[in-house]
């Protein structure tokens, strides 16, 4: 019987554990604080930021909600980030993507001080991750690690295929899976839009992580029985009955092959938000030099 990996439930457990961590910090006079900066009018981004604030409120993390007109100059955004970098009360900074076309995303990520980069995208933090000494793991790959652990999926010695090579998911996910530790030690293949014979590679895998941003590109014919499937994609498509959300995996056919699979929605998405809280609490504890035990460290 296929195990449907419930990201909502695992994320709720993490948030519950973080409440205790935040309480420990509070006893020491520290209140973790996350600042979010929104510079677009995208309704999905606005909803996502609002959900993040709701999660923070649940566990006791303070928030700063900063909105900037999308037509503002890039320098105005940098000024805001500089102010947040210098603010000792702020532990984590998140600049919500996407940014307007006149703003260089890479420059913005480099502008955030690495100690407050709770997304884990600053070049220094990327380098530490690759070197096996991460400060902050990017939230989506970190959340996937937690889902695999909770589902008792063995990564050591497994053949894993990551479909997608983005800096946000694909590359860090592959790196985490190959790290020499209890949640790694996998043999990893990264596939992408230029990969020949993709189905041959996914059929040879014990674990398939689909993160290419292409609706339902992986189906059951591309999988072997007993595989674990993690679907990172979330795509809105039009149907005869209106629009619906689908992942990068064609769920019905894949679920017939998989021993474990994440649904869309309710799989990876909630874990991404949960690990943002995790990173923010970690940042606050490290800045204050307070020793706490984070859930599933």
**Where do we find the tokens 């990996």?**
5
Is 146 a catalytic site residue?
no
CA 187 – CA 127 distance, rounded (Å): 21
CA angle, 188 then 192 then 194, to 5°: 125
Residues 6+ apart with CB under 8 A from 185: 155, 156, 157, 178, 179
Is 96 a catalytic site residue?
yes
How far is Cα of residue 100 from the mean position of the Cα atoms in its chain? 22
Catalytic residue among 55, 91, 117, 119: 119
CA 178 – CA 129 distance, rounded (Å): 11
Pairing of strands 187-191, 159-163: parallel
Catalytic residue among 55, 96, 201, 282: 96
CA distances from 202 to 6, 28, 34, 219, 224 (A): 23, 49, 38, 10, 8
How far is Cα of residue 22 from the mean position of the Cα atoms in its chain? 21
Catalytic residue among 52, 137, 171, 257: 52
Is 259 a catalytic site residue?
no
CA 60 – CA 23 distance, rounded (Å): 8
What letter would DSSP give residue 218?
B
Mapping DSSP to helix (H, G, I), strand (E, B) and coil, where does residue 133 land? coil
Residues taking part in catalysis? 52, 96, 119
């Amino acid at each position: 019987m296929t195990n449907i990996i419930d990201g909502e439930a695992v994320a709720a457990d993490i948030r519950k554990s973080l409440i205790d961590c935040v309480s420990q910090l509070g006893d020491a006079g520290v209140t973790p604080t996350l600042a979010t900066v929104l510079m677009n009018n995208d309704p999905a981004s606005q909803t996502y930021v609002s959900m993040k604030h709701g999660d923070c409120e649940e566990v006791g993390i303070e928030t700063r909600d900063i909105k900037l007109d999308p037509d503002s100059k890039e320098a105005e955004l940098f000024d805001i980030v500089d102010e947040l970098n210098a603010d000792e009360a702020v532990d984590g900074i998140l600049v919500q993507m996407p940014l307007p076309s006149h703003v260089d995303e890479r420059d913005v990520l480099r502008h955030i001080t690495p100690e407050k980069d709770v997304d884990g995208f600053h070049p220094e933090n990327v380098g530490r991750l690759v070197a096996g000494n991460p400060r902050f793991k990017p939230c989506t790959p970190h959340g996937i690690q937690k889902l695999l652990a909770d589902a008792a999926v063995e990564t050591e010695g497994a053949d894993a295929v990551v479909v997608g090579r983005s800096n946000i998911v694909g590359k860090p996910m592959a790196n985490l899976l190959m790290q020499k530790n209890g949640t790694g030690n996998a043999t990893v293949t990264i596939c992408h839009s230029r990969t020949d014979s993709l189905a041959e590679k996914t059929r040879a895998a014990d674990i398939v992580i689909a993160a290419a941003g292409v609706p339902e590109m992986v189906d059951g014919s591309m999988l072997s029985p007993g595989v674990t499937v993690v679907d990172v994609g979330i795509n809105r498509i039009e149907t005869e009955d209106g629009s619906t959300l689908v992942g990068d995996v064609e769920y019905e056919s894949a679920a017939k092959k998989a021993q474990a699979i994440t649904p869309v929605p309710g799989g990876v998405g909630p874990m991404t938000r949960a690990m943002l809280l995790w990173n923010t609490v970690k940042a606050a504890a490290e800045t204050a030099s307070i020793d706490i035990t984070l859930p599933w460290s």
